[in-house]
Amino acid sequence: MSYNLLANKKGIIFGALDPASIAWKIALKAKAEGADFTLTNTAVALRFGQLDDLAEQCNAKIIPADATDIADIEKLLQESMDHLGGKLDFILHAIGMSPNVRKKKGYTDLNYNFLNKTIDISALSLHKLLQTALKMDAVNQGGSILALSYIAAQRTFPDYGDMADAKATLESIVRNFGYHYGKHNQVRVNAVSQSPTPTTAGTGVNRFDKFLTFAQELSPLGNANAESCADYCVTLFSDLTRMVTMQTLYHDGGYSAMGMTPELLDLIHDTLQSQQNKG
């Protein structure tokens, strides 16, 4: 069901790769709500992904860009404004990648060159995007810029590795740049902390299937899927949330507010008791 929440709004969506991507679902939902936008990803991702299919469904132009490169960001913003016929109303930053996680490097054995890449790609790219957009006056007053995060920015998840540091930095940028963008242009900057979601990137985390199961059992509403995340993000692009900024907003079925459930407590106790008895 469409509510026409984004009628006449223009934007850019970063990070869609394939139908499993949260950004892919957000693009489809934004289009259904009346938005026009460009799509962007790195040249490498465009070769291996399926973005052409999404562009056709959304009647959207694809503009390749490296989000860590200022010149590419400038080109992307200018070409998007030229193509869409004016300044932007929303931007989705759905970018995250860790060479250490991909190489199965544990948190106490990081390759620091890889760590620098993780922070640059997954967090500093947001600052570069915000700073460049502000300097170019690329976003309309009342516009909304949204980044995707995960609760490992706030709590310890050992298998999440250096991505936790990147997400913590990302959320700090949301708060700090959100102040400046709000004062200068009344532009909102927020992060959505999503449930573990089986995307191409997410499933690369060690023991991801167990992350997924544990979160499902702990969350009163269960895990929030990519489609429901898209619904939520569309409201944050819309004028309905025009006074929400500098926030990390948890979209996780209640997981972030939980400590333990009786069912999980019993299961853990019984499992440990069984192991002790066997020992």
Burial class (CB in 10 A: 0-12, 13-18, 19+), 67: buried
Query: Residue 204: is its pLDDT beyond 90?
Result: no
Q: State which H helix or E strand residue 174 sits in.
A: helix 163-185
Look at the alpha carbons of 190, 196, 199, 204 in this order and tell me if their dihedral is positive or negative: positive
- Number of C-beta neighbours around residue 132 at 10 A: 17
- Section 100-127 average pLDDT: 97
The shares of helix, strand and coil residues in the chain, as percent rounded to the nearest 5, are 55, 15, 35
Position 148 scores a pLDDT of 98
Position 122 scores a pLDDT of 98
Position 198 scores a pLDDT of 87
Q: What residue type is 63 in one-letter code?
A: I
pLDDT tens readout for residues 165-191: 999 999 999 999 999 999 999 999 999
Domains of the chain: 10-278 (3.40.50.720)
Task: Check if the beta carbon of residue 148 is closer than 8 Å to that of residue 190.
Answer: no
pLDDT tens readout for residues 73-106: 999 999 999 999 999 999 999 999 999 999 999 9
Position 88 scores a pLDDT of 99
